Structure 1
């Protein structure tokens, strides 16, 4: 009932959905730099009982800080399921401190965090997470879906990241029940977001165009490909020559490449799952990398975007890189 009330409230205020993009400020960094660097991970949201964090989460946080210190990180993409198992109920919830502020304490993680919501966040109050942006110096969650634009320093190239709410698009996933998504709570809201997404992608002149959501388009693991995104989002990724799609939801690291688009699954921030039950449900030969072994202690992705390439490195929390790939700029831009 609470979700229905939120949906009606938002339907009455369309501007609450999406946030007008402006170029993000990367000032204060090395004046001679020629790239943008960031970390991406999801499904990091601890547990709802003391100590409100997990061993995997802490190990991943430690290694994220180490990599950010050594390799550089201008920001973090937080890809949903920020608070297990039912999100937060209010903006002053102690979970913000116990599961976020008290875990990601490293100096090199004191950078902007750009946040989107996952299915577990939608089980609680997503608006409370949006409101927390006013209380935190690094938590940036301006609306359910929004756009981020960056100028690659000392070049004439740009990077755009479109942050989606895939739960609003496709419906909520009842984890542990393993049932298919039943569709969006509001078809009107879903269509509004898809219309906005296509408009932003069609207008984008960015040299690197990324789309991020919680649910995967392609995945070989427990949840598998998301039919709703295959039907609604994948055609836009192809039509508008997107560079990559980032997500979480499945608790492992995957890199899948299909029709010129890179699909990054980075959901190993808190739990690990080696499940590959959907290996044959993605295009043959598209899986380039997969790991979900408990021995990795967690994981995340480091990205570096230069004027002529985007490098992705997959890290495990126990201290080594596992896989690296390079993506090209968009054609004709």
Structure 2
């Protein structure tokens, strides 16, 4: 029986790699390729700053729009000279990975995000579907892959801008912080984590870095949603939002909802973004706090310099859907 299971898994990986090769045989990634694949964007007007892409809810073995999103992520990474890629979680559907040797690493990640400009550092958080499998394996894969970075369930990164200034990135594991999972059997593993310890760490790291020019927090669960979970995010919002407001966080970027959103709740100084269009998509609607929402596959490009935070959503056809600038000098 085990021999048959290994044979099936080996066949799955082989088929996925063959499929990827067949579908990319006409796409030679040279200067001509990038010259003929361009995203019309105003981000290129910003010569300085630090650039990263944000994608979420993607791990589906190339199905739905995952492969086309990956293609345009590669173009965007080249065109905007991206320094890193951030994943907002749900990295492997439906039930995470079993180990660092799980075939999903090849069929859902390595064989999909294989464009040459995607071999920059990836910084990754866990989603709820990742907790259905071996979440520790996603941390351990950091020791196997040069580009995959998940040093712990939650962590931080300080970026020094070349022109001066700092960007403080805080990566949360929102699963243990979500009270909605307390009574869901399939997510009981999330509740075995020490949420109080993470919250204490979260507040301390925000407090210790209050002088950063920009503070951007990344988590899986949105605190506001114009999508499927509209009106259902109050529990996790009650845990996380008070600290975002207290320490004047500039932006919170999440996934979980399979779409692209920018939400601006009344009375809040925090910009709320959702980048969860890495594969499957779901409907959205205009809500009282919606600045932008589109039921589209895609990803975000973020560029930050000393004065300006810029975010642009790009769809799976390479079209710029939405552009937003936040000028620090005007806050």
Relative to the length of structure 1, the TM-score reads 0.79
Matches within 5 A, 1:136-151: 136-151=145-160
1:191 counterpart = 2:196: yes
Q: Report the secondary structure of 1:263's partner residue.
A: strand
Number of matched residues? 280
Kept in 2: contact 1:43–1:268 (CA 8 A): yes
- Structure of higher CA gyration radius: 2
Q: Report the secondary structure of 1:64's partner residue.
A: helix
Deviation string 1:131-176 (CA, Å, 9 cap, x unpaired) is 00000010001000000110011x22000111000112115769xx
Residue 22 of structure 2 corresponds to none
Deviation at 1:245, TM superposition (A): 0.3
Alignment CA distance shift 1:58-1:248 (3 Å): same
Give me the whole-angstrom Cα distance separating, in 2, the residues matched to 1:208 and 1:327: 11
Select the residue among 292, 295, 312 that pairs with 2:295. Answer: 292
Give me the whole-angstrom Cα distance separating, in 1, the residues matched to 2:179 and 2:278: 23
Kept in 2: contact 1:119–1:172 (CA 8 A): no
Select the residue among 255, 271, 282 that pairs with 1:248. Answer: 255
1:64 counterpart = 2:77: no
Deviation at 1:269, TM superposition (A): 0.2
Residue 11 of structure 1 corresponds to none
Matches within 5 A, 1:200-279: 200-204=205-209, 205-224=211-230, 225-258=232-265, 259-276=268-285
Give me the whole-angstrom Cα distance separating, in 2, the residues matched to 1:195 and 1:38: 28
Structure 1 residues not aligned, in runs of 5+: 1-32, 47-51
Deviation at 1:274, TM superposition (A): 1.3
Deviation at 1:184, TM superposition (A): 5.8
Instruction: Give the RMSD, CA atoms, in angstroms.
Output: 2.4
Residue 128 of structure 1 corresponds to 137
Deviation at 1:34, TM superposition (A): 3.1
Alignment CA distance shift 1:53-1:172 (3 Å): farther
Give me the whole-angstrom Cα distance separating, in 1, the residues matched to 2:200 and 2:327: 27
Deviation string 1:228-259 (CA, Å, 9 cap, x unpaired) is 33211111111111010000000000001231
Deviation at 1:185, TM superposition (A): 1.2
Select the residue among 167, 172, 176 that pairs with 1:168. Answer: 176
Give me the whole-angstrom Cα distance separating, in 2, the residues matched to 1:252 and 1:199: 32
Give me the whole-angstrom Cα distance separating, in 1, the residues matched to 2:64 and 2:229: 23
Deviation string 1:208-245 (CA, Å, 9 cap, x unpaired) is 10111101011121123522332111111111110100
Deviation at 1:99, TM superposition (A): 0.6
Alignment CA distance shift 1:229-1:327 (3 Å): farther
Alignment CA distance shift 1:330-1:165 (3 Å): farther
Residue 314 of structure 2 corresponds to 315
Select the residue among 108, 124, 147 that pairs with 1:115. Answer: 124
Kept in 1: contact 2:68–2:316 (CA 8 A): yes
Residue 27 of structure 1 corresponds to none
Residue 105 of structure 1 corresponds to 114
Q: Report the secondary structure of 2:204's partner residue.
A: helix
Give me the whole-angstrom Cα distance separating, in 1, the residues matched to 2:329 and 2:212: 8
Give me the whole-angstrom Cα distance separating, in 1, the residues matched to 2:68 and 2:102: 24
Q: Report the secondary structure of 1:130's partner residue.
A: helix
Structure 2 residues not aligned, in runs of 5+: 1-46
Deviation at 1:182, TM superposition (A): 9.0
Kept in 2: contact 1:169–1:190 (CA 8 A): yes
Flag the structure with higher helix content: 2
Relative to the length of structure 2, the TM-score reads 0.79
